[in-house]
A and B are shown apart, each in its own frame.
Chain A
């Protein structure tokens, strides 16, 4: 516990410092505005208020909801505020102090909240486990949706059929890796993503033949600020290493893709092949974010505090898979994470250039993010509904839909009042509030 607080505190101090010095921010939308502040065209106060405006909603919706539902810290909760605090602080040491204070504060507050929830007469935390079940299963189909968006019906249907066939081939252990079974969802996603990439590259190779190669605006655009990124490597290597380490220590979930699945896996003792599937999903998500993060980083000279997001799966999957769950795994997580993020930063320019020649890959990344979003919205809604259902509905009491009714009401109220909380976060948040509400009813003897 103390170790956790120290690590999270140090990490948040460093990310706030990185933001203060204009070296790295988490928010992809704050990043391109940072040069305005770094180069003095925008005042500290104004920059801080812009960062606050862009982030606040995400902290309280996504940040709070995901952490309450999974008991794992998440980057929106930790790093969006340190983006703001770093810019807000007038001095370096103050930035570090603010960052550390935030990290310690949220860790303690959410642990306390979880303890309180655990003491309630009706324990709804176990029901929240149901949240994760539909997510990975549904999520594996996102490449199909992405192909539909970008390449139309015919190729979409081909992708769907192939994905399902390969899924079953893996499930029936007809396709294995040297005799070891592969998780069906992992192969399914893999096949889909490969198809999407192939479709994109084929399209670009055709277009590249006819395209005028002289229109390379990217070069001059990015040259000036690339140096700045390279000079940030020492600081960012430590940050990247720490992010991988706290993922490895099972206190951080990196993304909307992994948080419930990791929670479930950790609760049940952490089956490594199950975690591998999650890591694979996170890896694909990372790929989808490459164009966005690379382009904004090259254009601004400011990197992302978690880099290209691969440090999460390095921490919770690669390190333990290679070096076990003990001390060796922890050390490996830090080292591999640090080395990896340094390599990313060194390779940034090359990746940017590569993307120049394949605009369809850039579009594919939009399609993937779009598809992921749509799939997750539904998966989280169904998962949260199931979780709520499980709070009062049991084999002994099969007609009790009270919690579900509360959940539905909460979710629909959010819709009715203009959706102050985005859908992705509204469903898990509604499930949590439902848990609290049914406890109040219980205490009042209304149940």
Chain B
């Protein structure tokens, strides 16, 4: 079964493109808002959340942290740095659900993240 990814935050159109390109048929993408996405995940209608903001840790995740709890959320790419594949892999293995990244690193971080998730779910 495809993994269900919800997208919120800034530059959703870039995120959507990046995720679909990396995940193909193995991902089911819903573009929505952070709040709606959090509700979906809580209700079991979605598996993951990807969101972007300027810093990667701020607005991208704040609503998700409020609703899903801090321990379920992680920043995969901060502003001012390159995303690191090993670190993303580690966060995925820690069963994080909601991922935030800086808008300027979406194109780099989102594909790595999708690949890690697919690997985790044995969909590679």
Contacts and interface: CB of A to CB of B under 8 A. Distances in A.
B35 A366 contact: no
B57 interface: yes
Given A366-B33, A422-B104, A423-B104, A29 B55 contact: yes
B65 interface: yes
A369 B62 CA distance: 15
A76 to B, nearest CB: 11
B67 A299 contact: yes
> Dominant SS at the A interface?
helix
A284 B63 CA distance: 21
B70 A33 contact: yes
Interface string A29-47: 1111100100000100000
A57 B78 contact: yes
Contacts of B102: 422
Interface stretch (A171-179, A288-296, A318-326): A288-296
A29 B61 contact: yes
B76 to A, nearest CB: 14
A363 B53 CA distance: 14
Interface stretch (A119-127, A395-403, A413-421): A413-421
A110 interface: no
Contact of B33 (A30, A31, A61, A359): A359
Contact of A362 (B33, B57, B62): B33
B111 interface: no
Q: Which of A54, A215, A221, A355 has the most CB of B within 10 A?
A: A54
Given A215-B43, A363-B32, A422-B104, A32 B59 contact: no
A266 interface: no
Interface in B2-50: 8-13, 32-36, 39, 42-43
A349 interface: no
A28 interface: yes
Nearest to B58: A29
A29 B57 contact: yes
Interface string A211-226: 0000101000100000
B81 interface: yes
Nearest to A299: B66
Interface string A1-39: 000000000000000000000000001111111001000
A197 B47 CA distance: 30
A217 B39 contact: yes
Contacts of A424: 54
B79 interface: yes
Interface size class of A (residues with CB under 8 A): 35 or more
A183 interface: no
Interface residues of B, number: 36
Interface in B82-116: 82, 102-104
Q: Which of A29, A57, A291, A418 has the most CB of B within 10 A?
A: A29
Contact of A29 (B36, B39, B59): B59
A217 B37 CA distance: 12
Contacts of B9: 366
Nearest to B13: A149
B83 to A, nearest CB: 10
B58 A54 contact: yes
Nearest to A296: B62
Interface in A350-403: 355, 359, 362-363, 365-366, 369-370, 373
B66 A420 contact: no
A32 B63 contact: yes
A53 interface: yes
Nearest to A216: B39
B117 interface: no
Given A54-B55, A422-B54, A296 B63 contact: yes
Given A29-B62, A295-B63, A370-B10, A57 B55 contact: yes
B103 A419 contact: no
Given A292-B59, A359-B36, A419-B79, 16 more contacts: A27-B58, A29-B57, A29-B62, A54-B58, A149-B13, A215-B39, A217-B67, A296-B63, A299-B63, A362-B33, A362-B36, A366-B8, A370-B11, A419-B104, A422-B54, A422-B104
25 contacts: A28-B58, A28-B59, A28-B62, A31-B62, A33-B70, A53-B57, A54-B55, A57-B78, A57-B80, A58-B55, A296-B63, A298-B66, A299-B63, A299-B65, A300-B66, A359-B35, A362-B36, A366-B10, A366-B34, A369-B10, A370-B11, A370-B12, A418-B82, A419-B79, A420-B81
Interface of A: 27-33, 36, 42, 53-54, 57-58, 61, 149, 215, 217, 221, 291-292, 295-296, 298-300, 355, 359, 362-363, 365-366, 369-370, 373, 418-424
Pairs of residues from A and B, 7 with the lowest C-beta to C-beta distance, nearest first: A299-B66, A29-B58, A32-B65, A32-B66, A362-B33, A420-B80, A296-B62
